[in-house]
Amino acid sequence: MKHKINRKLSIVTFFLLSSAAASLANAQSEPVYSRGDWVIGLNATRVLTDEDLRSAAAGGAPVPNANLSINDDTTVSFDVSYFLSNQVAFNVFGGIPASADLRGEESLSGLFLGQTDYGPMILSLQYHVLTGSNFSPYFGAGVGRILFLNEKDRVLTDFDVEDTWAPAVQAGFRWKIRNNWSANFDVRYAPFKADITGNLGPAPVQAKVRVNPTIVGIGVAYHF
C-alpha cells in the first residue's frame, strides 16, 4: 500500500508546485476566459486508491486485525465549467464509474469480499490564474457525492456499499492548442468514508471503510 501512497503524493506534489509557480505570473495579463464562457472537457482518468478498514463486525462481534484493499482503475471522465468572471468558474465533474474489487487483507486475507462500480459527481468552484500565455493553471474546491452502483456478491452475500458525501479539491492546467481547443491535465482528491453491509453465511456483516482516492485526468477541452 505504501508504494501507492508515495506514487500519488509524487503526482499531486509535482502538479501543485507547477501550478503554484505559474500563479506568480503577471496577474494583469490578458485573460483566457470571460464571464459567460463555457468549457467542456473529456479525459482519460486513472483512479488511484488508498484505503483503510476502520471497523468490521460479523454477527455483532468485532473482527480483529481486519483490513481490505481496493484496486486502481482507468475510466473516462467529463467536466463542464461556467465562468462567473475571467478567473472564477463553477465546475461539474462526472464520468463512467470506476470498477472496484474489495479484497480482504490481514485477518481477512484471501477473501474476495465483493465488487462495485463507483464514482463521484463533484461540484467545485475554480480559480484560474492569469499567465499571459497559452498555459492556464487552475485550482478548485467543492463537494462530491460518491455513488456506488452494480454491487456484486462474492464471499459476502447481499453486498452493499452506501452512497456518501466527500470534500473535493483539485489542481490542474489547460494548454491552448488551437482556436477553441486545449489540452487538459488535472488532479482531484476526494476522501470519503462509506458503510459496507452484507452477510457471511448466516451472520450479518457491517463495516466502515475510509478511502482516499486521487483522480488523475488527461484529455482535451473545448471553449465556447
Q: What is the share, in percent, of the chain residues with pLDDT greater than 90? A: 83
Per-residue model confidence as pLDDT tens digits over 47-86? 999 999 999 999 999 999 999 999 999 999 999 999 999 9
Backbone region of residue 69 per phi and psi (left: phi > 0; alpha: psi in -120 to 50; beta: other values): beta
For cell 471553449, the residue is 223
Tell me whether residue 22 is exposed, middle or buried, using C-beta atoms within 10 angstroms of its C-beta: 0 to 12, 13 to 18, 19 or more.
Answer: middle
Question: What confidence score (pLDDT) does residue 26 get?
Answer: 44
Handedness of CA 199, 203, 206, 207 (dihedral sign): negative
- The whole-number average pLDDT for the span 152-170 is 98
Per-residue model confidence as pLDDT tens digits over 114-151? 999 999 999 999 999 999 888 999 999 999 999 999 99
- The whole-number average pLDDT for the span 202-216 is 98
CA proximity to 5, closest of 52, 37, 39: 52
Q: How far apart are CA 103 and CA 176, in angstroms?
A: 42
